[in-house]
Amino acid sequence: MDPEIDALLVERGIRREDLEHVIAHAEETEDACVNGVTGRYIASYRPGNTTYWVEYDREAGYFRIFRAYSHRMLILENFNTPAKRKETLDWRCLKCGVQLELATVKLTHLEETFATDTPACPSCCRVFVSETDAIEKMGLAEKMLEDK
Ligand SMILES: [Zn+2]
């Protein structure tokens, strides 16, 4: 992990063990997406009230971390519907081998429910939350609800 990423994770309150949990879960279950261009993996894990995301790659004997972020909003499973805007992405579902497409998904936080468009696997409905969406969109919405 590069020092600047390390510093960013400290700022975001993401611990090394959170990263380890995400990677261990992904390696065990193949619950991850893989980028067709870079070959990097992105995986998430929600041990409690926070979902952690890690983008990583396997290198000789260790894992290299490229980014990690988290959100507290919960993505409701199996509520995906195809998005109006069509877009396929460089990421594909590791388990299904299918390219991700935009889907409208449901999110919930503090008893409020939202719908948003995000990449998802059209086969198993695995959702992909980008760093920008987690930090900007979801982060702002979480803060608004918590300040109410
Ligand atoms: Zn899938």
Partners of residue 83 on adjacent β-strands? none
Q: In the chain, how many domains are there?
A: 1
Which of 71, 74, 72, 70 lies closest to 113, judged by CA?
74
Whole-angstrom distance, CA of residue 79 vs CA of residue 104: 8
Task: Give first-to-last CA distance, the chain, whole Å.
Answer: 37
How many Å lie between the centroid of ligand 1 and the Cα of residue 88? 14
How many Å lie between the centroid of ligand 1 and the Cα of residue 3? 33
How many Å lie between the centroid of ligand 1 and the Cα of residue 14? 27
For the record, the structure tokens of 28 come out as 């065990």
| Entry pTM | 0.93
How many Å lie between the centroid of ligand 1 and the Cα of residue 64? 24
Containing structural domain, residue 93: 3-147
C-alpha Rg value of the chain to the nearest Å: 15
The one-digit pLDDT tens for each residue of the chain (148 residues) are 888 999 999 999 999 999 999 999 999 999 999 999 999 999 999 999 999 999 999 999 899 999 999 999 999 988 899 888 888 789 999 999 999 999 999 999 999 998 999 999 999 999 999 999 999 999 999 999 999 8
